[in-house]
Chains A and B, each alone.
Chain A
């Protein structure tokens, strides 16, 4: 058991709270760094996809987990990132040159999509972003000079300082590096005044405003940051797939992104990675599990939907804090063994505040 003695106020916002974290995170990073040499090709490809999704998850977590703004249209940002990256890399731009254009384009689209957020809240914001996502999806199909329509676009592999990232092993290091940097940036954001303003807006917009936070400006900032991270994820995805078409960026992907952070556990960076692991690994695991079922039921798409929906329902009913909440409970159990009690994580019931007048 570990006791943390607080000896200065700065200790609360220190990036690394205690030496144990250095050990475990260090072990994780080293383990991941050597994983391309150990994992078979298929699972390495899944690991790369997890990194891409985690990148999007960071953006989604900032928006939904920390600012409390529901977006069901993030596939639009993801797709824009992918197409901008593909378009410019194919025209000979360097990797980071195209990536900075991706960020600029996504920040602009993010600011545009944030406009409804200034007037509507909650579920209705979700519906509005869903509509915008569907509109952007249609634009991708029709804007053929940019996206090459439904036939799709081939993407060159990423190239950096003369090194071509054309295999899963090499792509892993590129994606891992970017995810590491972006996670660090997110952690830094969250311990800055801006990050705390985001959390204040999530908890109560009115009290945040009365403390001098400009709600509108802060929400737009959150959307722009979220869009930028999602766009970087999209750019990585373009290099990962090497062939993208508008049907990669549908409404179902937007739902996946939202569900990823919710199943992973809202308002935690761990949740991003748990959620990405879950979303990416579920289809192959179901495909493996399918072999044990009777042949008539072996409709993969249907089975996947059922399992997916059931898990979602279970998470909402029994573990509202997601996979990270479960992990926290297990960890605490072992940390303070044998003193764990059942009620330790019981929270007050989160009652919905009515938006109505009465």
Chain B
């Protein structure tokens, strides 16, 4: 039982990491990026290509692909998203769906690596840790550990650095932040690159568990419920939502008949939406006329 919960938690941490990207972008721009899953897929392919063809060791490849994806995120915001700044949210959603299609297509068209399924040779592959009767694989431990680390880093950044405080200000009220001399547009680019970096990290962490393939981006669709459950405006909520979804999924996979595992995330999400329309930790808002 505890064993199952633990593997659910580690699965949930992956969802949470991707969901963090959704939440960051939503807080900054009030739109939802449907390309998070694809960015994750691109991230793990980049890591794979770097280790395979450049022969980089794992840690260097990880850092390099994080930087590369952060750059990609920054570029996407500048070239594609910024021209529609100020238009309705649907426009951005469509753009991100379009980006997702292009990313999937480009990876599938890449001659050598595109169509195959790969394993990422991580140094901790296949090892397990025994702890008082529990068997935990290092894959899962690393996932949980790095999620905790990322949360800590984000917390420190948002509370103690100038950039973090500027980000919080601009997500509370963009216009006022702009008047105070905060470069809101640059911050939006920064948020996109952070979201892409997080997606890339999630992709590398997920790679030993599910392998690297073109359609792994669809796991982003499971992270979406995680963000919704958490409230879409709260960073801790994203992780909490991810863990709830992950645990619900593994438990229903174990105790309920076949087929419930696939839909557990969505059932949980709809149930939460019916009871708390703004999620568990979301801000309660009412539109003024």
User: Which residues of A are at the interface with B, using a C-beta cutoff of 8 A?
Assistant: 70, 116, 119-120, 122-124, 126-128, 130-132, 134-135, 138, 141-142, 206, 251, 255, 259, 262, 296-297, 299, 301-313, 315-317, 320, 349-352, 354-358
Residue pair B32, A130 in contact (C-beta under 8 Å): no
Residue pair B277, A120 in contact (C-beta under 8 Å): yes
CA distance A141 to B261 in the complex (A): 13
CA distance A308 to B109 in the complex (A): 14
6 residue pairs A–B, Cβ–Cβ below 8 Å: A122-B89, A127-B32, A302-B104, A303-B109, A309-B98, A312-B94
Residue pair B270, A123 in contact (C-beta under 8 Å): no
For B71, the chain A residues whose CB sits under 8 A away are none
Extra 14 A-B pairs, beta carbons < 8 Å, given A116-B273, A206-B289, A259-B94: A116-B274, A122-B89, A123-B89, A124-B232, A142-B259, A255-B97, A299-B109, A302-B108, A303-B109, A305-B102, A309-B102, A312-B101, A313-B95, A358-B173
Q: List CB contacts (< 8 Å) of B263-289 with chain A.
A: 263, 265-267, 269-270, 273-274, 277, 283, 285-289
CA distance A312 to B99 in the complex (A): 9
Q: Is B172 an interface residue (CB 8 A)?
A: yes
The proximity string for B residues 186-214 relative to A, scoring 1 for CB distances below 8 Å and 0 otherwise, is 00000000000000000000000000000
Residue pair B87, A351 in contact (C-beta under 8 Å): yes
Residue pair A302, B87 in contact (C-beta under 8 Å): no
Residue in chain B with minimal CB distance to A70: B90
Q: Is B31 an interface residue (CB 8 A)?
A: yes
Residue in chain B with minimal CB distance to A120: B277
For B4, the chain A residues whose CB sits under 8 A away are none
Residue pair A317, B83 in contact (C-beta under 8 Å): yes
CA distance A135 to B172 in the complex (A): 35
Number of A-B contacts defined by CB within 8 Å:
147
Residue pair B97, A312 in contact (C-beta under 8 Å): yes
For A259, the chain B residues whose CB sits under 8 A away are 94, 97
Distance (Å) between the CB of B183 and the closest chain A CB? 20
Q: Please list the 9 inter-chain residue pairs (A to B) with the smallest Cβ-Cβ separation, ordered nearest first.
A: A305-B105, A309-B101, A302-B108, A306-B105, A131-B266, A309-B102, A312-B98, A302-B109, A313-B98
What DSSP secondary structure best describes chain B's contact surface?
helix
For B83, the chain A residues whose CB sits under 8 A away are 317
CA distance A314 to B30 in the complex (A): 22
Residue pair A354, B30 in contact (C-beta under 8 Å): yes
Residue in chain A with minimal CB distance to B93: A123
What's the tally of chain B residues with a CB closer than 8 Å to chain A?
Answer: 57
For B286, the chain A residues whose CB sits under 8 A away are 357
Contact (A138, B262) CB under 8 Å given A302-B114, A320-B87, A354-B30: yes
User: Which residues of B are at the interface with A, using a C-beta cutoff of 8 A?
Assistant: 30-32, 80, 83-84, 86-91, 93-95, 97-109, 111, 114-115, 172-173, 176, 221, 224-225, 228, 232, 258-259, 262-263, 265-267, 269-270, 273-274, 277, 283, 285-289
Residue pair B105, A308 in contact (C-beta under 8 Å): yes
CA distance A116 to B276 in the complex (A): 12
Contact (A306, B277) CB under 8 Å given A259-B97, A312-B97, A355-B287: no
Residue pair B30, A356 in contact (C-beta under 8 Å): yes
Residue pair B101, A316 in contact (C-beta under 8 Å): no
Residue pair B266, A135 in contact (C-beta under 8 Å): yes
CA distance A120 to B232 in the complex (A): 13
Distance (Å) between the CB of B22 and the closest chain A CB? 10
For A138, the chain B residues whose CB sits under 8 A away are 259, 262-263
Residue in chain B with minimal CB distance to A311: B98
Distance (Å) between the CB of B52 and the closest chain A CB? 19
Residue in chain B with minimal CB distance to A262: B94
Pick the contact of A350 from B88, B94, B103 — CB < 8 Å? B88
For A308, the chain B residues whose CB sits under 8 A away are 98, 101, 105
Residue pair B102, A306 in contact (C-beta under 8 Å): yes
Which residue among A120, A134, A313 has the maximum number of chain B CB atoms within 10 Å of its CB? A313
Residue in chain A with minimal CB distance to B90: A70
Residue pair B90, A116 in contact (C-beta under 8 Å): no
For B99, the chain A residues whose CB sits under 8 A away are 309, 313
Contact (A316, B98) CB under 8 Å given A123-B32, A128-B273, A354-B30: yes
Residue pair A352, B86 in contact (C-beta under 8 Å): yes
Distance (Å) between the CB of B25 and the closest chain A CB? 12
Distance (Å) between the CB of B237 and the closest chain A CB? 14
Pick the contact of B270 from A116, A262, A307, A320 — CB < 8 Å? A116
For A119, the chain B residues whose CB sits under 8 A away are 273-274, 277
CA distance A124 to B270 in the complex (A): 11
Residue pair B93, A134 in contact (C-beta under 8 Å): no
Pick the contact of B108 from A299, A307, A358 — CB < 8 Å? A299
Residue pair A132, B266 in contact (C-beta under 8 Å): yes
For B277, the chain A residues whose CB sits under 8 A away are 119-120
CA distance A131 to B270 in the complex (A): 8
Distance (Å) between the CB of A124 and the closest chain B CB? 7
CA distance A27 to B173 in the complex (A): 56
Residue pair A306, B228 in contact (C-beta under 8 Å): no
Contact (A299, B273) CB under 8 Å given A305-B101, A352-B86: no
For B221, the chain A residues whose CB sits under 8 A away are 130, 134, 251
For A116, the chain B residues whose CB sits under 8 A away are 270, 273-274
Distance (Å) between the CB of B126 and the closest chain A CB? 32
CA distance A354 to B262 in the complex (A): 34
For B94, the chain A residues whose CB sits under 8 A away are 259, 262, 312, 315-316
For A126, the chain B residues whose CB sits under 8 A away are 93
Residue pair B270, A132 in contact (C-beta under 8 Å): yes
For A305, the chain B residues whose CB sits under 8 A away are 101-102, 104-105, 108
Which residue among A141, A309, A320, A354 has the maximum number of chain B CB atoms within 10 Å of its CB? A309
Residue in chain A with minimal CB distance to B174: A354
For B105, the chain A residues whose CB sits under 8 A away are 301-309
